[in-house]
Amino acid sequence: MTWTVPEPQAVFDLPMDDGAIIRVRRHGKSDGTRIYLSHGNGFAADGYLPFWSRLTDRCELLVFDFRDHGQNVPADPAHHTYAQMTSDLGRVYQTMTARLGPKPSVGVFHSMSARTAMKHAIEVGWRWDALVLFDPPNMPPPEHPLYPVMSAFEIKLVEWARARRARFADPGELAADYAAPRANRGWIAGAHDLMARAVLRRDAARGDWALSCAPALEAAIYQAALGLDLWPSASRFGGPVKLIGADPALTYGPPTGRANQAIAAEQGYDYVAIPGTGHMLQIEQPQACVDAMLDFLAAHGIQP
């Protein structure tokens, strides 16, 4: 199966406070609940099309990549930090609200962007009618029984990202790399190719394709997670938050499912795990993820 990203209804190139540009694409129904949607570290929002395409008949979707990812022009590497991304998220929300007008708005974020949304909501302020966070790979405190396995997981990702290949003859080469690990074999048909096309940028001068997010920058975000100190109580948020996690009983793949199960139980989150899924659950079981999200929103009176 081949996935084709639809042409957006509108494109907005938003300046951040350091001059970087974040490109926001508008899809879906203009009169629906507004959904802000983004991606995990090293990935890109268009690669999540199997998930968000199921919302275009009912929601207004503002799909965007974080700095140095996807469709964004590379920015100053020194600003590729969680602190800057937290500021960027606030600016995207404020600017799009000013341009399109206020309306019920939900943040739907995965992994790195979910961590960023948590930091923004706690450290800057609550802006949403609801937050839906897909498998944020948060590090528990050092004394927590899951700390060693989560720490080892992040360190392995740092080493992998630093050594990963950055250039490809065509997107099919990266798609094959995505499909090879057992943890990625549950992706829905066509998703490996879709994600490869979403994260690569054509280099006409060299006649090949390069990762939009440089491996060193991807590694820096994995490294930063080790000291992020993000294990907050759900009561610290100013509104409803849903954790939708990977299957904690999965016998292969990363330990993020167990980490989300633990933080939900210990810190009071509304939580559900999607059976049989790993960290990329939105492109493994997209309909189950959509259903879990919509059930949560309906329970809080939000009708997309």
Average pLDDT over residues 273-292: 98
- Token code pair at residue 56: 């275009």
Angstrom distance (rounded) from CA 97 to CA 89: 12
pLDDT-based confidence at residue 30 (cuts at 50, 70, 90): very high
How many C-beta atoms lie closer than 10 Å to residue 294's C-beta?
18
Q: Write the DSSP symbol of residue 167.
A: E
| Residue given tokens 């890109």 in the structure block | 44
pLDDT surpasses 90 at 268: yes
Which pLDDT does position 101 carry in this prediction? Answer: 97
The string of pLDDT tens digits covering residues 113-154 is 999 999 999 999 999 999 999 999 999 999 999 999 999 999
> Which helix (H) or strand (E) element contains residue 292?
helix 286-299
Name which of 85, 82, 146, 120 is nearest 236 in CA terms: 120
Which pLDDT does position 1 carry in this prediction? Answer: 84
Name which of 302, 303, 297, 251 is nearest 270 in CA terms: 297
Helix, strand, or coil here: 273?
strand
pLDDT-based confidence at residue 158 (cuts at 50, 70, 90): very high
pLDDT-based confidence at residue 255 (cuts at 50, 70, 90): very high
Which pLDDT does position 233 carry in this prediction? Answer: 98
Name which of 212, 161, 182, 158 is nearest 47 in CA terms: 212
Given its phi and psi angles, is residue 135 left (phi above 0), alpha (psi -120 to 50 degrees) or beta? left
Which pLDDT does position 251 carry in this prediction? Answer: 84
Strands 59-64 and 105-110: unpaired
pLDDT surpasses 80 at 304: no
Q: At CB < 8 A and 24+ separation, what contacts does 201-207 make?
A: 203/167, 206/167
Q: Which phi and psi (to 5°) does residue 137 adopt?
A: -85, 60
Which pLDDT does position 252 carry in this prediction? Answer: 83
DSSP string for 9-65: SEEEEEE-TTS-EEEEEEEE-TTSEEEEE---TT--GGGGHHHHGGGTTTEEEEEEP
Which pLDDT does position 38 carry in this prediction? Answer: 98
pLDDT-based confidence at residue 46 (cuts at 50, 70, 90): very high
The string of pLDDT tens digits covering residues 64-82 is 999 999 999 999 999 999 9
Which domains, and CATH codes, for the chain?
10-141+230-299 (3.40.50.1820)
Angstrom distance (rounded) from CA 99 to CA 91: 12
| Residue given tokens 């210990």 in the structure block | 266
Amino acid identity of residue 290, one-letter, is V
pLDDT-based confidence at residue 100 (cuts at 50, 70, 90): very high
Q: Are 161 and 222 in contact (CB under 8 A)?
A: yes
Angstrom distance (rounded) from CA 143 to CA 141: 6
Torsion over CA: 100, 42, 120, 232 (sign): positive
Which pLDDT does position 253 carry in this prediction? Answer: 78
Which pLDDT does position 303 carry in this prediction? Answer: 85
Q: How many CA atoms lie within 13 A of 23 on its CB side?
A: 15
Mean pLDDT of the chain: 97
The string of pLDDT tens digits covering residues 178-221 is 999 988 999 999 999 999 999 999 999 999 999 999 999 999 99
Helix, strand, or coil here: 123?
helix
Average pLDDT over residues 255-282: 98
Helix, strand, or coil here: 186?
coil
Dihedral, 240, 273, 81, 175 alpha carbons, nearest 10: -140
The string of pLDDT tens digits covering residues 233-243 is 999 999 999 99
Amino acid identity of residue 244, one-letter, is I
Which pLDDT does position 78 carry in this prediction? Answer: 97
